[in-house]
């Protein structure tokens, strides 16, 4: 098994699925850098425009929550073609959108496509790649979904500066078409499908919970963190989430097998993964907007500031996957989480005195840390459950990844918005810098929390190995 070569057809299937997933995640964050432009064009506030990102990520999360069931019910090739065609339709709706609501509808259509494309990429890897090479290929998958959010602002900024935000959707269409054609001819079915009964009520509960929690953080930006609006939405969301968990454990219908959460090491892995992705999407949203609002940088320069760190992260992820294969998960994940803590502390310390060059340097450190840790945390976490639960573990990781992005965007936007409304005597640049600094402090706290969770997790794994 260790020397088993990966068939060329499997490699091409991974490329096709990877390209579609990459396009979905790329467009996901490329719109962030366009928010100041869209605010002026449609005469809307930041809290409204940011729903292009938050709403998109919410629906991606819900779609991913159904992916384990969908993969058991339908052939993955059929799911892939559906996702690809949906993405193409969504691109046309967005590119031709005459108003904000039409643009949001197009983004939601694309969200469904991305929500199925990303789990399919990892499903192909988990089902068809030998265990001895799993770390490398999961690293490649992690590179696709982890680096695209950071490249997105550069891509979006370039198009907005040189053309318009509509070109974000038009220029990516040929790549999507190539991905659909490639996957259609190479994706094969390795697992038999079965007809289970879908848990629609459970999905509704999960959707309501996700929306209420995300809306709570959005309301915090408008009314403050001590407001009844924030706490009302947050508490209601947590209550509905508890109802979802209770229902799932007492239902014979199929959505997501929550028995995966009975493994403490899996829970610690997915919690760390959630926080790492929250930081990744959060800072990918924050830095381009910070550069425009505080420095007055154009969209191209704002997006380009995080390009170097993104490229380094992409290069490192497959390398770190090889380290997992050869030395175990602890080595690369500890390195990565340490670098993330250092980067976020630097952002927090220099938050009121940042320059473009400092952003480039600090984000480069973050990119290195993200590259070493992100994909490997997922690979290590999936290994903590039985093989029969891999589809559910994959769905849970991908759902948490996207919901973390939704929450990360909402929190960063809420803190930035509340700061902009805090003092009418100061300029928006000063208030935005202050709000950005508060965001950086929160990100530093989250980085240290993820680091502690990772250390505890490996202590537990070491004890389990000795038992």
d(CA 339, CA 447): 10
**pLDDT of res. 253:** 74
Mean pLDDT for back-to-back runs of 10 residues, the chain (467 residues): 68 88 84 80 78 80 84 87 93 91 92 89 82 76 73 80 88 92 85 78 89 83 80 93 88 78 91 92 84 77 78 84 82 93 94 87 93 87 82 83 80 80 71 85 95 93 79
The DSSP secondary structure of 21-76, one letter per residue, reads HHHHHHHHHHTGGGHHHHHHHHT--HHHHTHHHHHHHHHHHHHHHTHHHHHHHS-H
**What are the angstrom distances between the C-alpha of 83 and each of 79, 86, 120, 125, 146?**
6, 5, 10, 18, 20
Counting Cα atoms < 13 Å in the Cβ hemisphere of 408 gives: 29
Cβ contact 53:76 at 8 Å: no
Tell me what pLDDT residue 348 has. Answer: 93
Q: Which domains does the chain have, with CATH numbers?
A: 7-193 (1.20.1250.20), 199-252 (no CATH), 257-466 (1.20.1250.20)
Q: Tell me what pLDDT residue 442 has.
A: 93
Q: What is the pLDDT of residue 424?
A: 66
Residue with structure tokens 């989250």? 446
The structure tokens listed for 406 are: 């939704």
Alpha-carbon distance of 153 to 25, in angstroms, equals 11
73 vs 198: CA distance, rounded Å: 9
The reported pLDDT for the residue numbered 443 is: 94
Q: According to the model, what pLDDT value does residue 1 have? A: 39
């Amino acid at each position: 098994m260790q020397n088993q070569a990966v068939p060329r057809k499997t490699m091409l299937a991974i490329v096709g699925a990877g390209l579609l997933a990459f396009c979905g995640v790329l467009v996901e964050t490329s719109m962030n850098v366009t928010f100041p432009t869209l605010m002026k064009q449609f005469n809307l506030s930041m809290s409204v425009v940011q729903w292009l990102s938050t709403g998109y990520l919410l629906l991606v999360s819900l779609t991913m929550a159904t992916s384990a069931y969908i993969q058991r019910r339908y052939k993955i090739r059929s799911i892939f073609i559906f996702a690809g065609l949906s993405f193409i339709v969504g691109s046309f709706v967005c590119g031709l959108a005459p108003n904000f609501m039409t643009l949001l509808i197009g983004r939601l259509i694309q969200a469904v496509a991305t929500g199925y494309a990303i789990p399919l990429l990892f499903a192909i890897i988990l089902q068809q790649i030998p265990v001895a090479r799993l770390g490398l290929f999961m690293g490649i998958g992690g590179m696709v979904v982890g680096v695209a959010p950071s490249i997105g602002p550069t891509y979006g900024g370039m198009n907005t500066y040189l053309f318009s935000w509509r070109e974000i959707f038009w220029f990516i269409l040929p790549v999507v078409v190539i991905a659909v054609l490639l996957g259609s001819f190479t994706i094969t079915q390795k697992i038999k499908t079965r007809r289970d009964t879908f848990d629609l009520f459970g999905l509704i509960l999960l959707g309501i919970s996700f929306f209420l929690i995300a809306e709570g953080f959005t309301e915090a930006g408008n009314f403050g963190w001590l407001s009844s609006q924030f706490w009302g939405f947050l508490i209601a969301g947590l209550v509905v989430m508890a109802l979802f968990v209770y229902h799932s454990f007492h239902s014979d219908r199929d959505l997501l097998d929550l028995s995966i959460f009975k493994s403490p090491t899996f829970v610690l892995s997915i919690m760390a993964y959630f926080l790492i992705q929250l930081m990744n999407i959060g800072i990918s949203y924050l830095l381009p907007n910070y550069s425009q609002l505080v420095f007055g940088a154009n969209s191209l320069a704002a997006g380009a500031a995080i390009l170097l760190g993104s490229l380094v992260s992409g290069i490192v992820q497959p390398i770190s996957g090889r380290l997992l294969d050869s030395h175990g998960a602890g080595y690369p994940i500890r390195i990565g989480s340490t670098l993330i803590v250092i980067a976020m502390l630097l952002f927090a310390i220099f938050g009121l005195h940042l320059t473009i060059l400092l952003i480039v340097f600090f984000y480069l450190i973050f990119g290195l840390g993200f590259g070493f840790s992100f994909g490997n945390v997922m690979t290590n976490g999936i290994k903590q459950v039985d093989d029969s639960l891999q589809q559910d573990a994959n769905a849970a990781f991908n759902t948490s990844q996207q919901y973390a992005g939704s929450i990360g965007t909402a929190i960063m936007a809420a803190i930035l918005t509340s700061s902009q409304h805090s003092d009418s005597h100061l300029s928006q640049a000063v208030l935005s810098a202050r709000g950005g600094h508060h965001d950086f402090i929160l990100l530093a706290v989250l980085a240290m929390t993820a680091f502690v969770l990772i250390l505890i997790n490996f202590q537990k794994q070491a004890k389990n190995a000795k038992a």
